């Protein structure tokens, strides 16, 4: 069963249908990437959550467990478990902050991170090569589109979250 809509052969497609197809294809690709993450995580001996956290750690500077909890919405207790697993697997080290000895920095282990990058490069090798086909002008369009698409997803999430809060927060008193 394919989630992605196919282009109808021969028949001319209306603009609305084309837009709909674009949206569905993006959705499908997004779902597929989530699947990819899951497979990658299990290959690395991690959970999907762990891999997500590791991603955040490698992007930011001097990320702490508390910071991770904020970013992911997990409790600090859960983060302790996540960090334990990632550390045990060798991808990060816990390093005490010397200026504030309560805090930890989650320090990525460069060579292990590079292993992951190598896997990703291998898996997406064909795709990366395929990008060469695009001219600078086309790349302009794609970059602009990708930016807008990202912003749309962020805004949609914020909007939805606001809606949820508005409805659900009638908990105490009356």
Partner DNA sequence: CATTTTATCTTAGCAACTAAGATAACCAGT
Partner DNA sequence: ACTGGTTATCTTAGTTGCTAAGATAAAATG
State the minimum distance, in angstroms, from the CB of residue 73 to its own copies.
9
Residue 78 within binding range of DNA, rule CB under 7 A: yes
Per DSSP (E only), the strands in the chain are 92-96, 104-108
Burial of 21 (0-12, 13-18, 19+ CB in 10 A): middle
Taking CB under 7 A as the rule, does residue 64 contact DNA?
yes
Taking CB within 5 to 8 Å according to partner kind, which of DNA, its own copies, none is near residue 139? its own copies
Stretch touching DNA by CB under 7 A, among 30-38, 94-102, 145-153, 161-169 = 94-102
Among 9, 15, 98, 173, binds its own copies (CB under 8 A): 15
Q: Which of 76, 95, 114, 154 lies at the binding interface for its own copies (CB under 8 A)?
A: 154
CB of 83 to DNA, least distance (A): 5
| CA-CA-CA-CA dihedral for 9, 12, 15, 21, to nearest 10 | -10
Instruction: Give yes or no for residue 19 binding its own copies (CB under 8 A).
Output: yes
The rounded distance, in Å, linking the Cα atoms of 155 and 127 is: 28
Q: Does position 80 bind DNA by CB under 7 A?
A: yes
Q: Which helix (H) or strand (E) holds 51?
A: helix 48-59
Nearest to 8 by CA among 17, 37, 84: 17
Report d(CA 49, CA 71) in Å as an integer: 12
Q: Token pair for residue 108?
A: 């990525």
Between CA 53 and CA 51 the distance in angstroms is: 5
Q: How many residues bind its own copies (CB under 8 A)?
A: 65
Contact set with its own copies (CB under 8 A): 1, 3-4, 7, 15, 18-19, 21-23, 25-36, 39-40, 42-43, 52, 55-56, 59-60, 71, 119, 122-124, 126-128, 130-131, 134, 136, 138-139, 141-143, 145-150, 152-157, 159-161, 163-164
Contact set with DNA (CB under 7 A): 47, 49, 64-67, 73-83, 85, 94, 99-104
């Amino acid at each position: 069963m394919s989630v992605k809509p196919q282009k109808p052969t021969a028949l001319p497609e209306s603009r609305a249908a084309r837009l709909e197809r674009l949206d569905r294809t993006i959705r499908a690709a997004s779902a597929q990437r989530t699947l990819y993450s899951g497979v990658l995580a299990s290959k690395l001996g991690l959970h999907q959550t762990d891999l997500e956290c590791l991603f955040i750690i490698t992007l930011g500077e001097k990320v702490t467990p508390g910071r991770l909890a904020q970013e992911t919405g997990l409790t600090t207790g859960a983060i302790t478990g996540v960090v334990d697993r990632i550390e045990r697997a060798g991808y990060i080290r816990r390093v005490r902050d010397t200026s504030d000895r309560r805090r930890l920095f989650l320090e990525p282990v460069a060579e292990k991170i590079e292993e992951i990058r190598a896997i990703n490069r291998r898996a997406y090798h064909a795709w990366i090569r395929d990008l060469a086909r695009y001219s600078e002008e086309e790349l302009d369009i794609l970059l602009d589109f990708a930016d807008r698409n990202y912003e749309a997803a962020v805004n949609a999430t914020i909007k939805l979250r606001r809606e949820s809060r508005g409805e659900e927060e009638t908990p105490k008193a009356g």
